């Protein structure tokens, strides 16, 4: 069975592109243990969301895109909570915040995080360590925010996020 952390790992593999990686190094970047990372990669390969390419593992971009756009929100739906301090996500974060004018009638979605810079409605991250990993990698942050818009956004937000995800996955796939 896939876990939400598996998609989190795949998104990191997408944004690091064709550069080589090690389990130990990637585990540190993603704030998870090497054994958790190894298990995630193994499940992704079994689910055909990643493939072996030479000595390494790379995302299967077409399958990953299909899963993110058509299945993710039904499997890893977000849990919303109370007003809290956190890291903006979905339509409140880049790149969607550039395209959408936020409504002032409701607080923005945020990943709960005491070091966050915005107050908003708690929106559970895809993986519990996403806020910390996103702070260290802007490209990962943007991909996670786009995925969150698909997971829990309104129809217009999901539509714009889907186009942006497809475009980015196509760009990343062309580098592999």
Structural tokens at position 3 = 């876990």
Residue 113 in 3-state DSSP? coil
**CATH architecture designation of domain 4-73:** Orthogonal Bundle (1.10)
In the chain, which residues fall in CATH 1.10.10.10? 4-73
- CA 6 from centroid of its chain's CA atoms: 10
Nearest Cα to Cα of residue 82 among 116, 129, 120, 130 = 120
The pLDDT value recorded for residue 147 is 98
Residue 14 in 3-state DSSP? helix
Structural tokens at position 101 = 């004018």
Cross-strand pairs, 51: 58
Structural tokens at position 37 = 């990372």
* 126-157: pLDDT as tens digits: 999 999 999 999 999 999 999 999 999 999 99
Positions in the chain whose pLDDT score sits under 70: 101-104
The pLDDT value recorded for residue 176 is 72
Beta carbons within 8 Å of 99's beta carbon, 6+ residues apart: 160
CB contact at 8 A, 136 and 29:
yes
């Amino acid at each position: 069975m896939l876990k939400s952390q598996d998609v989190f790992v795949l998104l990191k593999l997408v944004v690091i592109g064709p550069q080589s990686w090690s389990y130990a190094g990637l585990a540190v970047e993603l704030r998870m243990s090497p054994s958790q990372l190894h298990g995630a990669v193994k499940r992704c390969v079994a689910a055909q969301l990643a493939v072996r390419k030479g000595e390494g593992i790379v995302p299967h971009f077409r399958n990953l895109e299909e899963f993110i756009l058509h299945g993710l929100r039904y499997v890893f739906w977000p849990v919303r909570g109370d007003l809290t301090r956190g890291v903006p996500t979905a339509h409140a974060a880049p790149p969607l915040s550039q395209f959408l004018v936020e409504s002032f009638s409701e607080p923005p979605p945020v990943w709960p995080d005491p070091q966050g810079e915005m107050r908003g409605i708690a929106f559970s991250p895809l993986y519990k360590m996403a806020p910390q990993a996103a702070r260290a990698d802007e490209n990962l942050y943007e991909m996670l925010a786009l995925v969150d818009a698909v997971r829990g956004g309104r129809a217009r937000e999901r539509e714009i996020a889907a186009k942006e995800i497809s475009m980015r996955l196509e760009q990343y796939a062309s580098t592999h």
